[in-house]
Chain A
């Protein structure tokens, strides 16, 4: 690879990888905090991230205190960054992130190497494709993620199918119904593997209102058809199978961080979140690198990611001044049982600092009632009785854990109790 690389000797203050809500808000805030050079590298030919092709509201409540569609929201974020003096470089792909903040990038000019004092990962999330779900059957075209469907419908005005089956019942799954309706597509069913819809009430009502039957305790077992999809085979909890005639499949949700730069690079990756391992400052295992937004964990709203980006900016700017606690004091948080899907941050640095994340973010693999506790070798640091649901965030006050922690590793544990 080396021979075609041109090097720019300039060291940039902060490079942000990804121009979605988290990346743009981090960049905008960094400029406001007086950082001189702030560069956003966006691999698409337009910045704005996923909201660019979410053609429906609600976006922008937290950021602009008004409800708007995704594309409009994305434009506003880009404009704010530009006004603040952020250097947004579109059609620029980061190919490799190397130790110490050196980045191999690809543009129309070929390969190039740039170096930054700090790098912020804000590469977002994507949905799990068919292959990784190991779905049986033939592989006809017409199996799409919500993301691809939305970009086709909203950016290209294309209608890929007429009567798809929707797999999953997360928030994004209902958003796919909205996208379908926009394009005149009539989903024939929504299929959910667990016992109830994943998205919070009242969202699931949207399926009923729009006449899309929701089948819970039902899993997709195979896709049928050669040149086109003709049906899906679904299986209920009793193992009974039946076919649903359809001409497309929308595989929704099961988000996973777009963290290939870290998984193929030098940063530690957390198997549980799929994103880089970070401390409570969003700092990665190479302390030049920070992460913000959905690359930290699947998946929060654009507004949540935007806020994380803004906070990351404060931490990065303080770190440039040498004012964050050293990452050398880190302690790992372990998960005691598989009911806890993940806990982010995965490590904690000491002592507490005012710019720390306020909460540990946890999610759970299934519905359960019991007591969630955080402990170290000396005893319980925090605990609370609660009912948890799959794919719903639980927040644990981080300062309680950091301040109480004395020795050893930190353990997150969920003890189930009958309600």
Chain B
């Protein structure tokens, strides 16, 4: 274990170097999940000196590592909630900036499909809710129309609500490029850096971390699954309690990518949005999530019975899935809590903003949450000067409809054949301040081993390429013994 070790000096990047004690940041973001990355970006662009601290060795290691990769319109979010406001704003901003940052956006649209007469009757309520949430372009379509739009869908569909605005995105490239935009415009990232305690002297915070202390005038807690605990530890109290909700997913082979055009949603219940069937921008088809309340904030295990139930549910909706092999399974933990909305709260007297309980919509809401946090921050912090000409880094291009690296010259060998990941892409992901330091991190940055063979062909080659960068097997970082 690595605690307060001043002798650590990781090779490359410098992001793992010790925190400089004399540096005082305007703002520290705790947690590099999708929300933390978006907040860091927004505040950096607003002119603040931002540092992100993250306890894992790679970003997006908690709730953000697993989701359904949908950019929601917010049509079914709770009305008049902060959540719907943030999703709407996040949706709008993503559409405005995705080209600038080289991100992908697949205008798949969604259909909330009714399978029973009861559900047919609920479609009108969902449509009304959508309109109340300013999602105007929804409309109810007949069984015949949905059958025409989704030819592989089971013919027991009785009708659907069409939500043309729902989109598919790359759930990892987006937050990576948000954070990179912060870093390339002066922000800092400290990885493997867990907050242990902190002290506010009336003007600024001194946070003690596993890698030394860091000083900042303001703190934004984006600690996701541990948000309540960070509040408890540093503020002495918390207004919410995270109740992790596990969601398991099944990813079908790319042969299934052609079986659905849009996102197939069920009519939601009061508790969950239910099991979604949708394509991914990488070309697969995914089915999930389950919704399982649990105590553990780290146990993202899968179980065969649930996975089989998901497969059955997918086959029921799209019968042709029956003969398609499973490529991957995964589980994610959503930071739900006892309240039915995001818990974003400013503690003005403590220079602290809590961004908590960003349950299942963090990917869609992140940019909107960041804007909201900026507004809260600027109410109490003196005006920074917004960057005039910020750098716009370009996201890794991994979506199958974009021009990928393998299509360009001098990419070296293709290392991961299933996902067509080039040697150059892997080497790039092993460099720089956000260099992958675990196989999991490398997968999120490049998709390597995420395809149908799951590493059968490339694992050994990959291990050679990553030699010294991290240990594929023990989760131990090179050089820290």
A, B assembled together = yes
User: Which residues on A are within 8 Å of B, measured CB to CB?
Assistant: 1, 3-5, 43-45, 53, 91, 93, 95, 106, 108-111, 126-127, 129-132, 134-142, 144-145, 147-148, 151-152, 155-156, 158, 160-161, 221-222, 226-228, 256, 258, 260, 263-264, 269, 271, 274
Contact pick for B328, options A43, A111, A131, A145, CB 8 Å: A131
Selected A-B contacts with CB under 8 Å, 7 pairs: A108-B412, A110-B406, A134-B304, A139-B330, A160-B472, A264-B255, A274-B325
| B179 smallest CB distance to A (angstroms) | 24
Minimum CB–CB distance from B220 to chain A (whole Å) comes to 28
Cβ B457 vs Cβ A1 within 8 A: no
Check B408 against A4 for contact (C-beta < 8 Å).
Answer: yes
A129 to B253, CA, bound (A): 13
- Residues of chain B at the chain A interface (Cβ within 8 Å): 251, 253-255, 257, 298-304, 307-308, 323, 325-330, 403, 406-414, 417-418, 420, 439, 452-457, 459-461, 463-464, 472-475
A135-B304, A228-B475 in contact; A106/B414 too (CB < 8 A)? yes
Known: A131-B327, A141-B473, A228-B474. A151 touches B460 (CB 8 A): yes
* Distance between B282 CB and nearest chain A CB, rounded to angstroms: 13
Contact check, A110 vs B302: say whether CB atoms are below 8 A apart: no
Q: Which of B301, B329, B452, B475 contacts A227 (CB 8 A)?
A: B475
How far apart sit A341 and B205, CA to CA, in the bound complex (Å)? 67
B457 touches A263 (CB 8 A): no
The smallest beta-carbon distance between A62 and chain B, in angstroms, is 26
B413 and A45 form a contact (CB under 8 A)? yes
Which 6 A-B pairs have CB atoms at the shortest separation, nearest pair first?
A129-B454, A151-B460, A148-B459, A227-B475, A263-B255, A4-B407
How distant is the Cα of A67 from the Cα of B126 in the complex, in angstroms? 70
C-alpha spacing A142/B329, complex, angstroms:
17
Q: Is there an interface contact between A126 and B301, defined as CB atoms closer than 8 Å?
A: no
Q: Enumerate chain A residues within 8 angstroms of B303, measured Cβ to Cβ.
A: 136-137, 222
Minimum CB–CB distance for B80 against chain A, Å: 39
Whole-angstrom CA separation of A137 from B299 in the bound complex: 9
Cβ of B453: which chain A residues have Cβ within 8 Å of it? 126, 129, 258
A382 to B332, CA, bound (A): 54
- Find A134's partner among B253, B308, B413, B414 (CB 8 Å cutoff): B308
Identify which of B302, B326, B418, B473 contacts A139 (C-beta below 8 A). Answer: B302
A304 nearest CB across to chain B (Å): 21
**CB-based contact B456/A145 at 8 Å:** yes
Distance between Cα atoms of A226 and B253 in the complex (Å) = 27
Q: Is the CB of B455 within 8 A of A148?
A: yes
Judge whether B463 and A156 touch: CB under 8 Å.
yes
Which residues of A have CB within 8 Å of B439?
141
Given A93-B420, A95-B420, 19 extra CB contacts under 8 A: A1-B407, A44-B457, A95-B406, A106-B406, A126-B456, A129-B452, A129-B455, A131-B329, A134-B307, A136-B302, A136-B303, A139-B301, A144-B455, A151-B461, A155-B460, A156-B463, A158-B463, A160-B472, A260-B255
Tell me whether A136 and B475 are in contact (CB under 8 A). Answer: no
On whether A138 and B456 interact (CB within 8 A), knowing A132-B325, A156-B463, the answer reads: no
The answer to whether A93 and B406 touch (CB under 8 A), given A134-B307, A228-B475, A256-B325, is: yes
- List, in ascending order, chain B residues with CB within 8 A of A129's CB: 452-456
Q: In the complex, which of the residues B403, B411, B412, B417 has the most CB atoms of chain A within 10 Å of its own CB atom? A: B417
Complex contact A141–B472 (CB within 8 A):
yes
What is the distance, in angstroms, from A399's C-beta to the closest C-beta of chain B?
Answer: 31
Cβ B417 vs Cβ A43 within 8 A: yes
Q: Is the CB of A1 within 8 A of B326?
A: no
Residues of A contacting B307 in the complex (Cβ-Cβ under 8 angstroms): 134
- Complex CA gap A331/B292 in Å reads 49
Chain A residues, CB < 8 A from B463: 152, 156, 158
Q: Which residues of B contact A148 (CB under 8 A)?
A: 455-456, 459-460
A-B contact count (CB 8 A): 134
In the complex, how many angstroms separate the beta carbon of A173 from the nearest chain B beta carbon?
Answer: 15
Asked whether A151 and B327 contact (CB < 8 A) given A108-B411, A129-B454, the answer is: no
In whole angstroms, how far apart are the Cα atoms of A258 and B418 in the complex?
10
**Complex contacts, B254 vs chain A, CB 8 Å:** 260, 264
Residue of chain B at shortest CB distance from A150 = B460
CB-CB < 8 A to A1: which residues of B? 403, 407
- Tell me the minimal C-beta distance from B224 to chain A in angstroms: 18
Q: Which residue of chain B lies nearest to A5 when distances are taken between CB atoms in the complex?
A: B407
Interface centre among A3, A93, A132, A156 (most CB of B within 10 A): A132
With a cutoff of 8 Å between Cβ atoms, the chain A residues found around residue B460 in the complex are: 53, 148, 151-152, 155-156, 158
Chain A residues whose C-beta falls within 8 Å of the C-beta of B304 in the assembled complex: 134-136, 221
Whether B408 lies near A110 (C-beta < 8 A) is yes
Nearest-neighbour CB distance to chain B for A235, whole angstroms, equals 11
B455 to A, closest residue via Cβ:
A148
Asked whether, in the complex, the Cβ of B473 is within 8 Å of the Cβ of A160, the reply is yes
Q: With A and B bound together, what is the CA distance between A1 and B407 in angstroms?
A: 8
C-alpha gap A347/B349 in the complex (Å): 78
Expressed in whole angstroms, the Cα–Cα distance for A5 and B326 within the complex equals: 31
B457 touches A126 (CB 8 A): yes
Nearest CB on B from A23, distance (A): 15
Instruction: Contacts A135-B304, A136-B304 given; indicate if A108 touches B456 (C-beta within 8 A).
Output: no
Known contacts A126-B457, A141-B475, A160-B473; A110 and B409 CB within 8 A of each other: yes
**Closest partner residue, chain B, to A127 (CB atom):** B456
* B305 to A, closest residue via Cβ: A136
Q: Residue of B at shortest CB range from A145?
A: B456
Q: Across the interface, which residues of B come within 8 angstroms of A222, CB to CB? A: 301, 303
B407 close to A93 (CB less than 8 A): no
A19 → B minimal CB distance (Å): 13
Chain B residue with the shortest CB-CB distance to A45: B413
Report A-chain residues with C-beta under 8 Å of the C-beta of B410: 108
B residues within 8 A CB of A269?
A: 255
Determine the distance from Cα of A138 to Cα of B418 in the docked complex, in whole angstroms.
24
Whether A147 pairs with B456 at a CB distance below 8 angstroms is yes
B302 and A4 within 8 A (CB):
no
Name which residue of chain A comes closest to B328, CB basis.
A131
- Among B307, B453, B461: residue with most chain A CB under 10 A: B453
Report A-chain residues with C-beta under 8 Å of the C-beta of B408: 4, 110
B407 touches A111 (CB 8 A): yes
* Contact assessment for A151 and B459 in the assembled complex, using a CB-CB cutoff below 8 Å: yes
* B459 with A144: CB separation less than 8 A: yes
Chain B nearest CB, measured from A154 CB (Å): 9
Pairwise interchain contact B326-A131, C-beta atoms closer than 8 A = yes
What is the chain B residue whose CB lies nearest that of A129? B454
Report chain B residues within 8 Å CB of A140.
Answer: 475
- Within the complex, the shortest CB–CB distance from A147 to chain B, in Å, comes to 5
Query: Roughly how many angstroms separate A137 CA and B305 CA in the complex, as a whole number?
Result: 11
Residue among B302, B326, B330, B409 facing the most chain A CB atoms (10 A cut-off): B302
Q: Are A4 and B459 in contact (CB under 8 A)?
A: no
Q: How far is the CA of A96 from the CA of B300 in the complex (A)?
A: 35
Specify which chain A residues have a CB less than 8 angstroms from the CB of B323 in the assembled complex: 271
Evaluate contact between B308 and A156: CB separation under 8 angstroms: no
Would A130 and B454 be within 8 Å (CB), given that A3-B403, A138-B300, A152-B460 are in contact?
yes
Assembled-state Cα–Cα distance A268/B165 (Å)? 35
* Cβ–Cβ < 8 Å partners of A4 in chain B: 403, 407-408
Q: Are B298 and A147 in contact (CB under 8 A)?
A: no
How far in angstroms is the closest Cβ of chain B from A4?
A: 4
Report the Cα distance A53→B464, complex, angstroms. 15
CA distance A232 to B476 in the complex (A): 22
Contact B301 A138 (CB under 8 A): yes
